[in-house]
């Protein structure tokens, strides 16, 4: 009989490519919608365990938008908007993760 209290871990992994066509995998940790848009907080996913250890562990926060039925992500250009959204994610995620604010 299975233990009903055990939750199966199914991370939400997305693949993004940069302007040069390089692909990167990210695990979506959280998303939030505000008056200014929809945002996601992610961390990089690596096949190589050493690369994972070498990573800074910094959250990647991007703005999500839809265009022609496709979902896209972009960097948040406005510093004030970025700070507001990053703080929101830090508050939300600090309940689940140990977050070192720099």
Query: What tens digit of pLDDT does each residue of 20-39 get?
Result: 998 999 999 999 999 989 99
Between residues 101 and 46, the one the model is more confident about: 46
Alpha-carbon Rg of the chain, whole angstroms? 15
What is the full DSSP assignment across 36-74? Answer: TEEEEEEEEE-SSHHHHHHS--PPEEEEEEEETTEEEEE
pTM of the model: 0.74
With contact defined as beta carbons under 8 Å apart, do 42 and 28 qualify?
A: yes
Mean of pLDDT over the chain: 84
Q: How far is Cα 71 from Cα 13, in angstroms, rounded to an integer?
A: 14
- Give the residue among 62, 59, 47, 61 at the shortest CA–CA distance from 98: 59
Instruction: Tell me the three state secondary structure of residue 90.
Output: helix
With contact defined as beta carbons under 8 Å apart, do 63 and 37 qualify?
A: yes
């Amino acid at each position: 009989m299975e233990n009903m209290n055990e939750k199966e871990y199914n991370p939400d992994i997305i693949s993004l490519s940069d302007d040069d066509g390089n692909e990167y995998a990210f695990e979506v940790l959280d998303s939030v919608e505000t008056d200014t848009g929809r945002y996601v907080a992610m961390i990089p996913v690596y096949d190589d365990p050493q690369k994972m250890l070498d990573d800074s562990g910094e959250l990647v926060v991007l703005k999500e938008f839809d265009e022609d039925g496709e979902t896209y992500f972009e960097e948040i250009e406005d510093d004030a908007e970025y700070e507001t959204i990053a703080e929101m994610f830090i508050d939300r995620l600090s309940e689940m993760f140990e977050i070192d604010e720099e």
